């Protein structure tokens, strides 16, 4: 290639991405040159994934520019969710993203290439090129994905985006990856490295970019940051008010639920925190499922569930608002197996008023509501029941500030009346409303905080691995 | 409700199509034989409607749910019932009991395979249907036992001008409609079909609902087999054959969503009438069996495509 | 993970071997060139139809129209291909193309394959009736010769089965495009993200199914010498059962062409075996269903063990 060796691989100019009213990325300037290893950090929803998707071409920017001065070839992403074909072998998976492997005998070069790539990144990996991917462990699959990201594939990798690449790897393997990233950058490659392990970021990154609320709030050479400074840059000061309110609640009563390492008392609001995808949602779902049955539904359920992933876990899309509200209380209000429709409407109207669902007519389809109002319907569904335990899986996604305040107040009132809330949230501000908080990291509880201990700083510290990656 | 809203109801189309086929057939005879044609459509349509309503409940459970053992269950229930009755008068209720017990048994067996062996419903009901078929062959041994005379009279008779089998089909339709629209169980079924995970997380007993749907379809098929055998003067080993495709076709044409969560009882009846009337229309225009089948297939696919393009976001 | 769970092909091979051994034990005369030919005679069209079904299952769909399609091809072969070979070939090519178009439409409009193929089974069946309202027609001479040729050492049916397994193994398992097609069944999002056009890939998979369906119909007519519109309706069920018996799975692109051919041979042999056992013919269909459930149960047990180990 004849162009200047120092020309950036990718340059973002005022790049923004909006999803409806949500500004996932709000005008970002970033340039990645050969030899750069950019450490990208930020809390949940700061815009990391959106930035990655703009660079790898999954999204087009809503405004601004994403330019590749040397062409987009050689820009690779290793995704956080596993994106291999589990029914194919390791070498065959390389074939999917390497159309240059053609003709009879394509397997030999494919095997050679993937073995070379694995050897380069993870010496002594012990992965056979002919092993089917679903016979591999999660860590081995992650290693294969990383190796495919760095493999030449008929050209040369110029920029590799690694999104939480070490989440499934143990320390020794992670070190191999970090060493390879450093070698790769020294040879003129570029890497964008996203991780919750701050030690790793400091070890490999030449430059650290901090994203917050869709904007870059800090961008400096790695040496310009301290660990504490980085945590401070990501976070924002917790509202004193919320913290004080949490203290002023009466002491809770007897233990009503203890499972998955989580214990909750009557009238208590228990928070689950940590970075998204560290096992909180799965633990909550297991906990709820263990409290209810596939085969029976009684008049008085022990627990109810408020979904945050509305399309997947909550909304019944073909139904009206009314039917969505009363979905969990049908047996209670039924007479001889028949739905009592007058009572159903009375209950739904009451909750529409209490929780402020914005609609003229409860018979309208649920999908006619905005996301925030759909979420209110899911709250109403849970609170309309008499269940003593309410399980909430990050229920405030896409909800506007006003609604949030209403719901916080309602949760506090219900807790004061004796209900127990288990509340997973990706927003630290919400977690600070809780009486007690369990912080998750790597699918395990890394800290239990109570009362005054619940501060944004403590939660961030427990969410991120503060030690050196050893 | 405005006319437009009425037209947007999916079941209207099945009834319009049935009416069109009816009119086109009569157009050839300039109106003669309208009563006979309607009577025949109600008689034969009743069997398709009964199995169709069962299949509808299963299809409402969502993608991948379908009962392919309907023909085998019909045949097994009919042969065993006729064998037990052995043309003796006064045994009609005993035969009905046997038929319904067979339906209960095959339904439970189907669901056991689906639930315990985690088989896809298609393969579970397919494999099981081979066994039911063998049981029917073994118990029948090629004999053609006539139904008891009283039962045969009932199956071919009429009440208030309508065929008795149509009354049975209409009564079942009313029950299914009430259950789906008014009962807690119906709500659970519709919710499970829209989003099984969301229904489960809303506290609904989704496995019980699935089990009940698979048992109901088998019981309906058994009842249809019992009535059909009584209607046509005996059980035959291939008597259920055409009802596999028919049961799915009437559900799809009747406006029930294949994606699940949305049932349509009146549509099933309209589609059942349409399927009979379109055949008699093509017959009366002299079309051969080949043309008939090609048109039936084309209609099914056209309806599936039309339904998919109306779907929001598709 | 247990040995059996890792090597999916073991269970079908063992099933076939056990069944074959039992057959020879009960009927030693079957252990001959002529006997084997008799046992496996009808296996060739079933194996081809099973491969056709496998192509569809490979991309996570299911085809309920295979039986009607093979019947239609048989009717075309026994009439047009015999009387006007060029026109016959054109019709068969058009049938393959319409299969490919069906795959593209199913994917592009996100239609349920089970209902579309069900509708198509009416269409194929109707066309077959249109071409051949009553049983009849005649097999082209060359086809008849091909299907009844007596190669040395092994009978035609066995040679053909090995050939089909080898060719489809190369096509589906070894070749690059076959690998991508299996990838569509495994994780179509990942394949799309790597820059492939998934609609075109689905059309290709359906087109291949059409090709093997055509071969199945031609082979069937070569054996039976005449055709009728319902000649192969049971192939729909047989082909699904064959794929599953052969170690294939309904989702996830986990298919085995060799296994599918073995599954088809097992089903064919099961029918002969059950008649050797003097099992009343009443039970033969049921025994096939029971074998299917048994194999699936065995597989579930091994999978559970594998998961626990």
Let me know: does A315 contact A324? Beta carbons within 8 Å: yes
Chains that touch C (3 or more CB pairs under 8 A): A, B
Query: What integer pLDDT is reported at residue C306 of this predicted model?
Result: 58
Residue A237: band (very low, low, confident or very high) from pLDDT cuts 50, 70, 90: very low
Look at residue A470 and tell me whether its pLDDT is greater than 80. no
Q: Which among C183, C185, C252 is the nearest to A96, CB-wise?
A: C183
Q: Which among C123, C241, C288 is the nearest to B297, CB-wise?
A: C123
Gap from B185 CA to chain A (nearest CA, Å)? 7
Query: What integer pLDDT is reported at residue B228 of this predicted model?
Result: 94
Look at residue A242 and tell me whether its pLDDT is greater than 50. no
What is the tens place of the pLDDT at every residue in A400-423? 666 777 788 888 888 888 899 999
Domain identity same for A33 and A53: yes
Over residues A217-246, the mean pLDDT reads 69
Q: Which residue of C has its CA nearest to B309?
A: C109
Contact A295 B207 (CB under 8 A): yes
Domain identity same for A102 and A191: yes
Residues 148-207 in C contacting B (C-alpha not used; CB under 8 Å)? none
Q: Which of C212, C218, C202, C200 is nearest to C260 (CA)?
A: C212
Q: Which one has a higher pLDDT value, C301 or B193? A: B193
Gap from A315 CA to chain B (nearest CA, Å)? 7
What is the tens place of the pLDDT at every residue in A19-72? 766 677 888 899 999 999 999 988 766 788 888 888 888 788 888 888 888 877
Gap from A79 CA to chain C (nearest CA, Å)? 10
Over residues A105-112, the mean pLDDT reads 89
CATH of the domain at A68: 3.40.50.300
Query: What integer pLDDT is reported at residue A5 of this predicted model?
Result: 59
What is the tens place of the pLDDT at every residue in A69-97? 887 788 888 876 668 898 999 999 999 88
Element (H, E) at A162: strand A159-163
Residues of chain B with pLDDT under 70: 1-10, 142-143, 307-314
Chains that touch B (3 or more CB pairs under 8 A): A, C
Mean pLDDT over all residues of chain A? Answer: 83
Q: Which among C1, C6, C193 is the nearest to A83, CB-wise?
A: C193
Query: What integer pLDDT is reported at residue B272 of this predicted model?
Result: 94
Residue A211 maps to a domain: yes
Look at residue A240 and tell me whether its pLDDT is greater than 60. no
Domain identity same for A174 and A210: yes
Query: What integer pLDDT is reported at residue A308 of this predicted model?
Result: 81
Look at residue C194 and tell me whether its pLDDT is greater than 50. yes
| ipTM confidence score | 0.86
Gap from A279 CA to chain B (nearest CA, Å)? 18
Q: Pick from B64, B116, B134 the residue to mutate for testing the C interface (most C CBs within 10 Å).
A: B134
Contact C289 B130 (CB under 8 A): yes
Look at residue A249 and tell me whether its pLDDT is greater than 70. no
Look at residue C307 and tell me whether its pLDDT is greater than 70. no
CA distances, C50 to each of A370, A411, C235 (Å): 49, 59, 8
What 8-state DSSP symbol labels residue B281? H
Kindly state the tokens that stand for C112.
């349920």
Domain identity same for A54 and A176: yes
Domain identity same for A344 and A201: no
Q: Pick from B180, B189, B191, B198 the residue to mutate for testing the A interface (most A CBs within 10 Å).
A: B198
What is the tens place of the pLDDT at every residue in A340-361? 889 999 999 999 888 888 888 8
Angle, alpha carbons C74-C78-C83 (nearest 5°): 140
Residue A252: band (very low, low, confident or very high) from pLDDT cuts 50, 70, 90: low
Domain identity same for A76 and A139: yes
- Beta strand A37-42 with A207-212: parallel, antiparallel or unpaired? parallel
Cβ contacts below 8 Å, chain A against chain C, sum to 53
Contact A316 B191 (CB under 8 A): yes
Q: Which residue of C has its CA nearest to B131?
A: C286
Residue A307 maps to a domain: no
Mean pLDDT over all residues of chain B? Answer: 87
Over residues A370-384, the mean pLDDT reads 87
Contact A88 C254 (CB under 8 A): no
The domain boundary, picked from A234, A269, A286, lies at: A234
Query: What integer pLDDT is reported at residue A445 of this predicted model?
Result: 86
Contact C190 A86 (CB under 8 A): no
Chains that touch A (3 or more CB pairs under 8 A): B, C
Query: What integer pLDDT is reported at residue A97 of this predicted model?
Result: 86
Q: Please indicate, yes or no, whether the overall pTM of this predicted structure exceeds 0.90.
A: no
Q: Which one has a higher pLDDT value, C206 or A217? A: C206
Domain identity same for A376 and A292: no
3-class DSSP assignment, residue A12? strand
Residue A120 maps to a domain: yes
What are the chain C neighbours of B298 within 8 Å (beta carbons)? 119, 122-123
Look at residue A248 and tell me whether its pLDDT is greater than 60. no
Query: What integer pLDDT is reported at residue C219 of this predicted model?
Result: 94
Query: With an 8 Å Cβ cutoff, is B59 touching chain C?
Result: no
What are the chain A neighbours of C176 within 8 Å (beta carbons)? 95, 101-103, 106
Contact B190 A288 (CB under 8 A): no
The domain boundary, picked from A386, A402, A426, lies at: A386
The domain boundary, picked from A386, A417, A434, lies at: A386
Number of domains in chain A: 3
Domain identity same for A428 and A321: no
Domains of chain B: 3-310 (1.10.3470)
Domain identity same for A464 and A358: no
Domain identity same for A122 and A217: yes
Residue A216 maps to a domain: yes
CA distances, A51 to each of A57, A206, B22, B214, C163 (Å): 10, 19, 61, 48, 52
Q: Where are the domains of chain C?
A: 8-16+34-308
Compute the distance between CA of residue A389 and CA of residue A405 in angstroms, rounded to an integer. Answer: 21
Q: Look up the domain containing A15 and give its range.
A: 10-234
Q: Which among B118, B131, B314 is the nearest to C286, CB-wise?
A: B131
Contact B195 A315 (CB under 8 A): yes
Residues 202-231 in C contacting B (C-alpha not used; CB under 8 Å)? 229
Query: With an 8 Å Cβ cutoff, is B287 touching chain C?
Result: no
Let me know: does C125 contact C229? Beta carbons within 8 Å: yes
Residue A332 maps to a domain: yes
Look at residue A300 and tell me whether its pLDDT is greater than 70. yes
Domain identity same for A14 and A104: yes
Mean pLDDT over all residues of chain C? Answer: 88
Gap from A93 CA to chain C (nearest CA, Å)? 8
Q: Which residue of C has its CA nearest to B124?
A: C293
Query: What integer pLDDT is reported at residue C6 of this predicted model?
Result: 57
Compute the distance between CA of residue C304 and CA of residue C7 in angstroms, rounded to an integer. Answer: 15
Domain identity same for A451 and A463: yes
Query: With an 8 Å Cβ cutoff, is B123 touching chain C?
Result: yes
Gap from C304 CA to chain A (nearest CA, Å)? 14
Query: What integer pLDDT is reported at residue B235 of this predicted model?
Result: 82
Contact B201 A293 (CB under 8 A): no
Over residues A268-278, the mean pLDDT reads 82
Query: What integer pLDDT is reported at residue C1 of this predicted model?
Result: 41
Q: Which of A372-376, A383-387, C205-209, C273-277 has the lowest mean pLDDT?
A: C273-277
Contact C282 B128 (CB under 8 A): no
């Amino acid at each position: 290639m004849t162009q200047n060796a120092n020309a950036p691989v990718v340059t973002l100019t005022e790049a923004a991405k909006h999803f409806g009213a949500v500004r996932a990325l709000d005008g970002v300037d970033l340039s990645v040159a050969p030899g750069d290893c950019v450490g990208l950090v930020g809390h949940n929803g700061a815009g990391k994934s959106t930035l990655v998707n703009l660079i790898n071409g999954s999204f087009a920017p809503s405004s601004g520019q994403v330019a590749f001065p040397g062409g987009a070839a050689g820009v690779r992403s290793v995704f956080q969710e596993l994106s291999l074909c589990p029914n194919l072998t390791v070498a065959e998976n390389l074939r999917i993203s390497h159309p240059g492997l053609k003709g009879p005998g394509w397997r030999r070069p494919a095997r050679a290439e993937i073995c070379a790539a694995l050897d380069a990144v993870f010496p002594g990996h012990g992965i056979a090129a002919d092993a089917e991917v679903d016979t591999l462990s999660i860590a081995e699959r992650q290693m294969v994905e990383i190796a495919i990201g760095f493999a030449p594939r008929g050209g040369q990798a110029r920029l590799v985006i690694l999104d939480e690449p070490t989440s499934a790897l143990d320390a020794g393997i992670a070190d191999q990856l970090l060493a390879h990233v450093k070698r790769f950058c020294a040879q003129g490659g570029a890497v964008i490295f996203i991780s919750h392990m701050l030690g790793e970021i400091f070890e490999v990154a030449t430059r650290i970019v901090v994203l917050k609320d869709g904007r870059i709030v800090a961008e400096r050479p790695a040496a310009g940051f301290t660990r504490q400074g980085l945590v401070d840059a990501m976070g924002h000061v917790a509202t004193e008010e919320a913290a004080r309110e949490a203290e002023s609640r009466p002491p809770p009563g007897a233990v009503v639920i203890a499972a998955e390492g989580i214990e909750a008392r009557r009238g208590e609001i228990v928070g689950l925190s940590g970075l998204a995808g560290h096992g909180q949602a799965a633990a909550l779902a297991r906990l709820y499922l263990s409290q209810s049955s596939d085969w029976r539904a009684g008049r008085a359920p022990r627990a109810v569930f408020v979904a945050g992933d509305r399309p997947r876990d909550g909304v019944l899309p073909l139904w009206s608002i009314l039917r969505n509200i009363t979905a969990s209380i049908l047996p209670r209000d039924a007479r001889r197996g028949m739905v009592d429709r007058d009572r159903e409407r009375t209950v739904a109207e009451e909750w529409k008023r209490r929780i402020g669902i914005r609609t003229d007519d409860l018979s309208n389809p649920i999908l006619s509501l905005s996301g925030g109002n759909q979420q209110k319907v899911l709250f109403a569904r849970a609170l309309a029941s008499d269940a003593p335990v309410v399980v909430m899986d990050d229920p405030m996604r896409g909800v506007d500030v006003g609604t949030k305040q209403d719901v916080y107040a309602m949760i506090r009132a219900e807790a004061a009346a004796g209900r127990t809330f288990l509340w997973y949230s990706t927003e630290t501000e919400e977690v600070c409303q809780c009486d007690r908080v369990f912080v998750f990291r790597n699918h395990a509880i890394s800290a239990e905080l109570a009362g005054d201990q619940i501060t944004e700083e403590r939660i961030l510290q427990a969410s991120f691995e503060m030690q050196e990656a050893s | 409700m405005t006319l437009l809203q009425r037209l947007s109801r999916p079941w209207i189309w099945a009834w319009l199509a049935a009416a069109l086929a009816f009119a086109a057939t009569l157009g050839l005879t300039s109106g003669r034989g309208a009563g006979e044609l309607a009577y025949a459509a109600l008689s034969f349509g009743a069997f398709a409607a009964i199995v169709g309503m069962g299949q509808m409940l299963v299809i409402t459970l969502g993608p991948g749910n379908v009962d392919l053992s309907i023909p085998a269950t019909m045949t097994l229930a009919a042969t065993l019932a006729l064998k037990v009755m052995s043309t003796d008068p006064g045994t009609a209720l005993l035969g009905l009991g046997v038929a319904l017990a067979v339906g209960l048994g095959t339904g439970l067996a189907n669901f056991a395979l689906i639930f315990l062996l985690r088989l896809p419903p298609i393969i579970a009901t397919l494999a099981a249907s081979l066994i039911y078929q063998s049981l029917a062959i073994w118990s029948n041994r090629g004999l053609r036992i006539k139904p008891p005379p009283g039962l045969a009279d009932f199956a071919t008779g009429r009440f208030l001008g309508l065929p008795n089998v149509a009354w049975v089909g209409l009564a079942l339709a009313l029950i299914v409609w009430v259950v789906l629209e008014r009962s807690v169980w119906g709500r659970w079924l519709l919710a499970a079909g829209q989003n099984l995970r969301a229904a489960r997380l809303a506290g609904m007993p989704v496995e019980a609902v699935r089990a009940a749907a698979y048992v109901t379809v088998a019981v309906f098929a058994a009842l249809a087999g019992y009535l059909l055998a009584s209607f046509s003067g005996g059980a035959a080993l291939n008597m259920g054959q055409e009802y596999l495709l028919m049961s799915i076709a009437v559900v799809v044409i009747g406006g029930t969503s294949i994606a699940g969560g949305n049932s349509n009882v009146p549509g099933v009846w309209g589609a059942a009438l349409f399927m009979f009337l379109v055949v008699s229309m093509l017959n009366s225009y002299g079309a051969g069996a080949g043309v008939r089948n090609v048109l039936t297939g084309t209609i099914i696919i056209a309806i599936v495509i039309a339904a998919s393009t109306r779907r929001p976001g598709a | 993970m247990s040995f059996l769970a890792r090597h999916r092909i073991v269970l079908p091979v063992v099933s076939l071997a056990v069944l074959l051994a039992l057959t020879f034990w009960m009927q030693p005369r079957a252990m001959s060139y002529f006997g084997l030919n008799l046992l496996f005679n009808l296996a060739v069209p079933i194996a081809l139809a099973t491969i056709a079904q496998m192509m569809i299952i490979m991309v996570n769909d299911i085809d309920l129209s295979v039986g009607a399609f093979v019947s239609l091809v048989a009717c075309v072969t026994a009439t047009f291909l015999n009387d006007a070979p060029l026109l016959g070939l054109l019709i068969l090519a058009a049938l393959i193309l319409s299969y490919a178009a069906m795959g593209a439409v199913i994917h592009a409009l996100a239609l349920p394959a089970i209902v579309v193929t069900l509708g198509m089974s009416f269409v194929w069946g109707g066309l077959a009736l249109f071409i051949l309202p009553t049983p009849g027609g005649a097999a082209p001479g060359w086809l008849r010769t091909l299907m009844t040729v007596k190669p040395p050492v092994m009978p035609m049916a066995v040679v053909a089965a090995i050939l089909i397994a080898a060719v489809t193994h190369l096509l589906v398992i070894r070749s690059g495009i076959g690998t991508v097609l299996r990838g569509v069944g495994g994780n179509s999002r990942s394949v799309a993200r790597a820059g492939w056009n998934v609609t075109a890939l689905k059309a290709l998979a359906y087109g291949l199914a059409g090709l093997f369906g055509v071969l199945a119909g031609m082979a069937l007519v070569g054996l039976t010498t005449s055709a009728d519109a319902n000649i192969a309706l049971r192939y729909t069920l047989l082909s699904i059962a064959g794929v599953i018996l052969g170690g294939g799975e309904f989702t996830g692109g986990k298919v085995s062409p060799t296994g599918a051919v073995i599954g088809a041979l097992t089903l064919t042999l099961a029918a002969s075996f059950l008649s050797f056992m003097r099992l009343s013919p009443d039970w033969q269909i049921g025994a096939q269903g029971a074998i299917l459930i048994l194999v699936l149960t065995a597989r579930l047990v091994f999978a559970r063990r594998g998961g626990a180990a």
